[in-house]
Amino acid sequence: MPPDRHFRWALAADAEVLADVMFDSVRNGESPYSEAQRAAWVPARPAGEGWAGRLRNQDVLVAEQEGEPVGFMTLAEGGYIDLAFIRPAARGSGLFRQMLSRIVERAEARGEARLWTHASLTAEPAFARHGFVMLGRERVRVRDQELERCEMERRIGED
């Protein structure tokens, strides 16, 4: 039986728990990144006005299971998916597809022509499974580490 999930748009008060989801997603579970790369990417739970402001300037979809947030995905201006994180325990359960479906609906309602993102190596396969195509790869320096990621896009209305 599929898990009982609830989806909602985030409130400002969710910033702290979403920081926990992001930290758990990056720092725990399987990853193509080394421990040093993960620690450079997210050395601590995001906090403060910088984190709250980043979330406040986007539509933030929260996925809850048994009353606890297990994932979130954001939609910024221009159809940009800035953040997409799922707790390791919820990966492989169809949650990415469910969240993306709601983000697509929101983007369509806003009149966006495409969705695009800078996908981590962890998220790249999920985006690719759901119609995103790679536009290019890049290496970005984060603190003392280099991390590979790729720019991907999906035209709205193309499945």
**Per-residue pLDDT in tens (0 to 9) along the chain, 159 residues:** 456 899 999 999 999 999 999 999 999 999 999 999 999 999 999 999 999 999 999 999 999 999 999 999 999 999 999 999 999 999 999 999 999 999 999 999 999 999 999 999 999 999 999 999 999 999 999 999 999 999 999 999 765
pTM exceeds cut of 0.85:
yes
Instruction: Assess contact for 70 and 21: CB atoms under 8 A.
Output: yes
DSSP string, 64-89: EETTEEEEEEEEBGGGEE--EEE-GG
Closest CA to 118 of 147, 151, 75: 151
Alpha-carbon gap, residue 101 to 15, rounded angstroms: 22
Q: Which CATH number is 5-112 given?
A: 3.40.630.30
